[in-house]
A = this chain, B = another copy of it.
Amino acid sequence: MKKIDYIIKYPERKYKKFWNPLFRDKKNWLFGYFKPTARSLEELTYLELHKYPELFLLVKGRIVLTLKKNKNSRIEELELKPGEVVIVNCWHNGYALEPDSVSLVIERPVNPTKKIML
């Protein structure tokens, strides 16, 4: 995490990992770039459920969120649209329809997580 300066810039192209947590405001919120590596639902091996909500906003490319309302619901696929924030409070993961696709993520820095394998 970078020291707080009066302006901090985070160009998405600088960050290469699947999950790049980049800044947090103490215990309140964390910002990161999510760069899914899976290219289809079949390539995903798990879904996650966090205790607190998670925000997504498409930054580049095409990303599909894979969502399950409850453990026994079917998986719904929701493509992120440019200019549309999506907030998720359920089991989720995501894949990219185009290489180098990126979403902004906001959530609490401590967000207890459960996983189910697919």
Interface residues of A (CB under 8 A from B): 4-13, 22-23, 25, 27-29, 31, 52-53, 55, 57, 59-60, 67, 69, 78, 81-90, 102, 104, 106-108
Contacts and interface: CB of A to CB of B under 8 A. Distances in A.
A83 to B, nearest CB: 4
Given A31-B85, A59-B83, A106-B29, A53 B10 contact: no
B104 A5 contact: no
**Copies of this chain held together in the complex:** 2
A108 B29 contact: yes
* Most B CB within 10 A of own CB, among A29, A31, A59: A29
A11 B55 contact: no
A78 to B, nearest CB: 7
8 contacts: A4-B53, A6-B69, A6-B90, A7-B88, A25-B107, A28-B29, A31-B85, A85-B104
